[in-house]
Structures are given as C-alpha cells and as structure tokens.
A and B are shown apart, each in its own frame.
Chain A
Amino acid sequence: MEDILTLERVSKVYEPNITALDEVSFSVKRGEFLFITGPSGAGKSTLLNLIFRAEKPTSGEIYFEGRPLSSLKKKEVPFFRRKIGFVFQDFKLLENRSVFENVAISLEIQGIGEDEIRRRVLKILERLGLSGKETQPVRQLSGGEKQRVALARAIVNRPKLLLADEPTGNLDSRRTEEVMEIFEDLNAEGTTIILATHDEALYAERHRRVLVLDQGRLLNP
C-alpha cells in the first residue's frame, strides 16, 4: 500500500533553544492505524501539529500524499487541512456555540448544502452518543462529551487522515473503549489514523504499529 504521509528528518526547535523534535523520520501507509506514544513532553503534540501544518518544522520535510508541505502556499493551507481531521487535546471547540454548530462548521466552510449538513451531523452525533444534545451549548457539556464533539467535528468531514492527540484523556474507561471502537470502525472504513497517547493500555493488544518518542527522538523508527 502507498504511503499517505512521510516525514524526513523533521526537527522542531523553539526559541531560545528547546528541541521539541530531533530529526524524526517515518512513513505512514494509507489505511494504517498508527500509535505514537511517549511521556509528557516527548514531542507527540508537536509532531501532530507539524503534520497538520499548525506549525512549521525548523528543518526536514513532511510529505502528504507525495506533496511536500513546505510547498504549500498560505491560501492552500485551509484546503489541505480539510483533508485531515484533528482531535485536539484541548478540544478547541467553539464554547458559545451549540453541539450541532460545532460539528457543522467543518462542512459549512466547504459550502455543503444545509440539508446534507444536517443529515451528516445528526448521523455522526448519533454514532457518538450525542443525540439529543444538538442544541446544547458546548460550554455546558462534560469533558467526555466535549471530547466526543471534537471527534465528531474531526470525522464528519470524512478525512483521509485522522490525527488524535490524547483523545481519551478525559474519558472514563467505558467511554474510552467506545471511542476506541469508533476509531477502529473509521480505520476499517479506510481512514488513516495517527493517535498520540501516553496511555499504554490504549495500544496494548491492538497489534498496531507503535512509534515511541522520547525527548523529541524516535526510539523505534
């Protein structure tokens, strides 16, 4: 199977001299479910941010579907991001807007018709156990519910690649299992997934490739 993502000696150094990532190289095959693990501060979030083009690497190159991200023009970035779903560690939800509006925004920005948006959003909310909460403002939700809204927003767009940064960090074990099931289902439907977590229990016994980061270095390239 072809590579959907390739990182070549990617480094990220923050001012004044903090190395978050140090010459990280790996490839991800289309349809793969990859775990990235490591302790807090290992560089997991930085790595996902670089793949998402939320930040730029200090050196090295990232290729998405064969195209180097450094060649992306500023105006192309939004269109690139629409191909990728991102479940942020801090959710990054619009707190004053409703659950429905938060999920629908991913489709609205693409100019999809209202009926289609409604159909797809309600379907995804139902799948994630959020039916009945469509009109509720996000600020009134629990941490676990917010996590699921963030996941719904990331996948409603049917992305080619799904990035998830500690997506079960705020969930109890039952909800964690449910969310992991959703990730498995999405992967079975063909979505490539990169999931960053420090929780070993998430990837144990799943027989998926696991990359270990420590102090910005990949320990098992």
Chain B
Amino acid sequence: MRFLKRLFLEFRVAAWAYFTATLVIVLGLAVFSFFGLVYSNLNYFTQKVAQELVLNVYLSPRITSKEVKKITSEIKKEPLVAEVRFLPPEEVLKDLERLFEEKELLSGISPDFLPPVLVVSFKDPFRAGKSLKELSLRLEGLPGVFKVQFAQSWLARLANLRRFLEIISLWGLFLVGLTTCFIIGLVVRFSLSQRKEELEVLSLVGATPGFIQGPILVIAVLQGAVASFLALLLVYIVKIYLDRALLDFFPGFQGGLVFWNASQITILISGVVFLCVLGSYWASRRYLRY
C-alpha cells in the first residue's frame, strides 16, 4: 500500500516528463514496428506469388489412370512438394479459356487435342527452386510424361527480388531499431535528469538505492508496456486502413496484410520494457550520491 502511494507520488511529481517520454517512445516504436510490418508483408507477398508459380507435368494424351497414379506418387516423394493436382484435358481447356480474353483463339480446339496435366505446387518455392531443374529432368524420364515445364526464370527473379527486399528491409529495420533503442535510452535519461536534484536529495537523507529506484523502475515497466501497446495499436490501425486502401491494388490481393504474431508482440513488448528498465536504472544510478 505504501509502495503504491510512493509510486503514485513518483508519477505525480514528474507526470509531464513521464508523459512526454512515453509519447516519444510510442512514436519511435511505431516507426520501428511499421517497418517491421512492411518487411513481413513484402516477404509474405513474394512467397505467395512464388507459390502461384507451379511445375506443369504434361502427360501423354493416352495415359492410363494407373500410370497417372504412379507418376503422382513419384512426385509426392519429394519432401518440398505441397500438392499434386491432376487436370484432365477438359479442365486444361477451361483454364486456357480463362487465360485468353480472345475466345476465338481457342475456337475449334477440342479437349482431345490437349494433354492432361499434373500441376505441382511447392511448400517453399524458393527453396525448391534449386532442385526444380533436377526434378523436372527426372520426371521427364518417366514413362507417360510428355514434357515438364516450370517458370524457372520468374522464380529466379522473384527470389532475387525477395533477397533484395530482405537486405534493404532488414538493414532498414536494424537502423530504425537502433534509433529506437537510442531514443528510448535518451528520453528515459533526459526525463530523469530533470529530477537529478530530487534523486540526489533522497540519497543524501539516507534513502537506500532500492527505496529511490523501486518506484522509478516500476514506472519504467509500465511506461514500456504502455508505450509498446500504444505503438502496436497505432500500427494496427494503419494496417486496417491499408487493408482497405490496397484492396484491388494488386491482382489477387484481397486485403488482410499480415501483422505481428503473438510471439513477436511478446518479444517486442518485453524488449521495450527491458530497455526502459535498463535505461531508468542506469540513468537514476548516476544521480545517487553514495
């Protein structure tokens, strides 16, 4: 009870300093988590696009269902394969009709003219990319396989794009993170430097470091938790706005940007709380006179 009273008193005497410090931390952190969000989404988006790029195994027109099953189970042995889908010639024709806006191009083409296809998608297309050539050569050697085709060049371009985004975003995230750490340290130190004399007086009248720093550190925990919560809330609001604003911006994008998951949020909040406590501890320690 007495500690709570001291906590309240501690907050009351420096409420403005704590408020502005928290606000600065919120803004710094919001920029950091926004960059994090951009990185996660670019990463997620390229992954999704890559998953659209599939391996097409064109089969002989007169292939039996037994042979199809054999080839399918052979493909499924590959650990990177996520799904193998069989498209009979009728389905292939429908796909082509969906692809070509000029319907006349397909007039007169009967399903018998088209080969059945096995459409292979991968769990992690970027990882699979390296072994795709080898796999396609192996599949081409199987009886009943007419031709194997995949968008290797597109996958390579996407992989490069992803690597580029990864380098840029991660370095940006690192720099913004570093700046945020610096801002948190500086703000906490500055807010306590305004109370230098008070901390000095308390140590001179015989207060122990625990007595003086106890409420300051508890407030630092609250400050870190509140600041990270508000920053995440702010970024979440931005995410909701972007979900709506970017709808139909890209083909296939139905809204729903990815947000930090529970463990990432826990790490972020813990990290900020830790930084605030560490900053407050070191800053207040400087002003104690023992």
Q: Interface residues, chain A, CB within 8 Å of chain B?
A: 52, 54, 74-75, 77-79, 81-82, 86, 88, 92-97, 101, 105-106, 108-110, 114, 153, 157
Contacts and interface: CB of A to CB of B under 8 A. Distances in A.
B171 interface: no
Nearest to A76: B290
Interface residues of B, number: 19
Nearest to A55: B289
A176 B200 CA distance: 28
A82 B202 CA distance: 11
Interface stretch (B26-34, B203-211, B232-240): B203-211
15 contacts: A78-B203, A78-B206, A79-B206, A92-B200, A92-B201, A92-B204, A93-B201, A94-B198, A96-B198, A101-B9, A105-B207, A106-B205, A106-B206, A109-B211, A153-B205
A109 B207 contact: yes
B206 A81 contact: yes
Contacts, number: 51
A105 B212 CA distance: 11
A96 B201 contact: no
A52 B23 CA distance: 40
Contacts of A82: 206
A81 B205 contact: yes
B197 A78 contact: no
Contacts of A77: 290
A171 B200 CA distance: 25
Q: Per DSSP, are chain B's interface residues mostly helix, strand or loop, or mixed?
A: helix
Interface of B: 2, 6, 9, 13, 197-198, 200-209, 211, 289-290
A74 to B, nearest CB: 5
A62 B113 CA distance: 107
Given A96-B13, A109-B206, A78 B290 contact: yes
A97 B211 contact: no
Contacts of A78: 203, 206-209, 290
Contacts of A157: 206
Nearest to A114: B2
